[in-house]
Structures are given as structure tokens and as C-alpha cells.
Structure 1
Amino acid sequence: MENQFKDFYDVLSENLESYQGEYASFIDHGPKLFKLLTEMLEENSISKELRLEISAAIAYYVVPMDIIPEQVYGPYGYIDDIYITTYVIKRIADELGYECLKKHWKGKGNLESVVEECYDKSLEVLEDKTDIILSYVGLKE
């Protein structure tokens, strides 16, 4: 029997596909936002600094015991991942505009609206944890 390896995006999608909880309206965007960041690494116009921020946000998804670990909290544990992802996407948009990002967006809905919704709702849930999350990956001192 041959092992079939799954892309992390596929694992992430499977983990969240049946989630119907309180935060489903924005947690459901997590896999597509993750995929957007991975696609942005292929964009030649991304600066070295932004590449490092993108890589930090991607790594945060993969780290098993981050600030709100999925292994402990289930889908709720993706809220901090979504926060850092949208934080970095907003930084990319500030530097390059949303048009550059939209070329790689495979999710449902208007990208800018999705990013704003996910960012705002994750801020509401995380409250004072955002500085800790950004510091964890070196995006804030």
C-alpha cells in the first residue's frame, strides 16, 4: 500500500469543513487565506521583508502549540492563525495593493471584505492577545 501525502492546505480544509460553531462565518476562510499567502511567495514583486512576514504567518499555522493551539481548542484554535494571516495580508495590500493579491485569491467573496471581516472578528475574540501573537513570530517587539 502506497502512502498518499496531503498538502497542508488539504489537511486544514478537512479540519474545518464540518465546523458549525460560533465563529464559523470567518474561520471557514482560514484555508483559502493560508493558500493565498503560499501563492504570494511566488509573486516577484514581494519584497524580502514581506517574504519574511509571509513565511512567519505560514509557519504560525503549522506550529502545533502556538498561542491558541488547535490540538487543545479545536477549530477555535485557528482564530489566532487567521489573525496573523490577515495582519500580513493587510501589510501586503498596503505595499502592493489588493489587485496583486486578488490575482491569487481562490476563495469565495470579495477578498478585501473577507480580510476585513476576518481581521475585525479575530480582534474581537483575541482582545489583548494580538501583541503576544505578533511577538511569537517576530513581527512585533
Structure 2
Amino acid sequence: MNKTMNTGNRFLDSLKRVLVRFKDAGFGIKFIKNLPKVADYFSDKNVSILGKSKLLLSFIVTLIYFVFAIDVIPEVLFGPIGFLDDIFVIIWMIGIVNEELSKYSGPQDFSSKSNKKVYKDSNIIDDVTYSIKDDN
């Protein structure tokens, strides 16, 4: 009985983490908005291999899960409840992809002097002029 409770609690904790990721992804809206960044994300040399592999692996796992007829909760036996595991995998993938792409600032603009993409940090303000005046 205790093993069953521990297994159930671990499953519910993982489901909670996935749902929090999906909520942070704006219920998929931010995911759709971030999709155009994927090509720049994979071609950018400043992005770590771990981040790229995490994104690629989530795409591959989701694709494999839907291509092969292996289900954790089969629709044949459980009817509409069998789609819960499919929804779970989609939500997991959307959360992972959105998490990685939202951290990526991407190419902000093109340099006016060349056609090279310039990557800028969104926390840095460029082209600011200031002066200090003395009240005396």
C-alpha cells in the first residue's frame, strides 16, 4: 500500500511540474510565438549543445510517441481517458521548447554596416547620451 502511495505521489508530482511548465508557456500561445526562433536557435553558435540537444530530444521523443502505437494508457482499453497520456506528452514538449526558446534572445537586429546578425542582451541599453550638470 505504501509503495502504491509513493508511486502515485511521484506521478502526481511529475504531472504538476508538466502543468506548471505548460502554464508558464502561456498555454501554448508563447510556444507558437517562439517557433520562428527555432532555426536561429539551432544555427547560433552561442547556444550550448545541452540546450540544443534538450530541444531536439523533446521533439524526437514526442514524434516517436505518436508514430509508434505504444501507449501508457491505451485508447482501446480506456476510451477517451486513453488520450490523457498523449496530452501529457504534448504538454511536456511544449513546456520544454518554450522554456528553452524563451531564454534565447535571438538575433535582435542587423548591423547597419554589414549584413551580419548582431546578438544583443535585452538587459543592456545602447546609444544613451547623458550629461552631468552642477547646480553651482
Q: Do they superpose with TM above 0.5?
A: no
TM-score, structure 2 normalization:
0.37
Which structure shows the higher helix fraction? 1
Q: Which has the larger Rg?
A: 2
